[in-house]
Amino acid sequence: MAEVTAAAVKSLREKSGAGMIDCKNALVEANGDETAAMDLLRKKGMAQAGKKAGRVTAEGAVGSYIHMGGKVGVLVEINCESDFVSRGEEFQQLVKDVAMHIAAADPRYTNRTDVPEGDLAKEREILMEQLKNDPKNAGKPEEVLEKIIVGRLNKFYEDNVLADQPFVKDPSKTVGDLVGEKIASIKENISIRRFSRFKMGEGIEKKADDFAAEVASMVG
């Protein structure tokens, strides 16, 4: 059996629009043959998402999710092509699932393209310093360290980018995979446009009462 590399899975995903897991399974079944794997995805109706990626998504819905008795709240806007689809049960369930995921996973960005270049540069700098300070990496060429950084940046995306995060209800797929599956199923382009997550008290500096001073003022 041919080895299925991450690069092969990525290539098939970009060409088919299908989910990462589906692409990997198709490549395994096709013994690493990308053309045969694409045919398998098409037969299963999973290779349609990529064809719809350029379509305008001007309809959709804004969904919400409240968690922990009102301690965490989420608003998310997900777009599709038609009002008919936006009112459908499958699309509405997707909106609810994504809102719930955001509440649980606390992503910072919607897609990789939303990550500011400054944030990426800072993350690269931190990772490079960590690698150079690790005795195990002593003597390794700069290009080798750069390859390690690329792998660790993927972990950064997985932790912080909504589309790259493992879906909380099924960690075997990412949120991006979930959207791709819905595109194939609903047969319309779907995109997560934006979201906001609110946590009770976030950003407020809570005053620490000086109990001794308070007692002193009462008796003084």
CATH code for the domain in which residue 155 is found: 3.30.479.20
Mark whether 90 and 183 lie in a shared domain: yes
DSSP 167: E
Based on the fold, state whether residues 36 and 135 are members of the same structural domain. Answer: no
Tell me the pLDDT of the chain averaged across its residues. 84
Assess whether 146 and 68 both reside in one domain.
Answer: yes
Any domain includes 55: no
Residue 209 lies in a domain: no
What is the CATH classification number for the domain harbouring 37? 1.10.8.10
Contact at 8 Å (CB) between 29 and 19?
no
Q: Based on the domain organization, do 85 and 16 belong to the same domain?
A: no
Residue with the two structure tokens 């990626």:
53
Asked if the structure places residue 70 within a domain, the reply is yes
Cα 114 → chain centroid: 11
Q: Is 94 in contact with 178 (CB distance < 8 Å)?
A: yes
Q: Looking at the structure, do residues 41 and 147 belong to the same domain, yes or no? A: no
Q: Which residues pair with 72 in a beta bridge?
A: 67, 199
In-domain check, residue 18: yes
Q: Is residue 29, in this structure, part of any structural domain at all?
A: yes
Instruction: Based on the fold, state whether residues 142 and 106 are members of the same structural domain.
Output: yes
Residue pLDDT, tens place only, 204-214: 776 655 555 55
Q: Which amino acid makes up residue 94?
A: L
| Digit-coded pLDDT (tens) for 87-144 | 999 999 999 999 999 999 999 999 988 999 999 899 888 988 888 888 887 778 878 8
Flag whether the pTM goes above 0.75: no
- Specify the amino acid at residue 133: N
167 to each of 107, 113, 143, 193, how far by Cα in Å?
12, 20, 33, 17
How many domains are there within the chain?
2
Q: Which pLDDT does position 31 carry in this prediction? A: 87
In a domain, 160, yes or no: yes
Q: Are residues 165 and 94 in the same domain?
A: yes
**Claim to verify: residue 79 and residue 159 sit in the same structural domain:** yes
Domain that holds residue 26: 6-47
Claim to verify: residue 73 and residue 123 sit in the same structural domain: yes
Share of the chain above pLDDT 90, in %: 40
Longest dimension (CA), the chain: 86
Confidence of residue 219 (pLDDT cuts 50, 70, 90): low
What is the C-alpha separation between 198 and 92, in angstroms, rounded?
Answer: 21
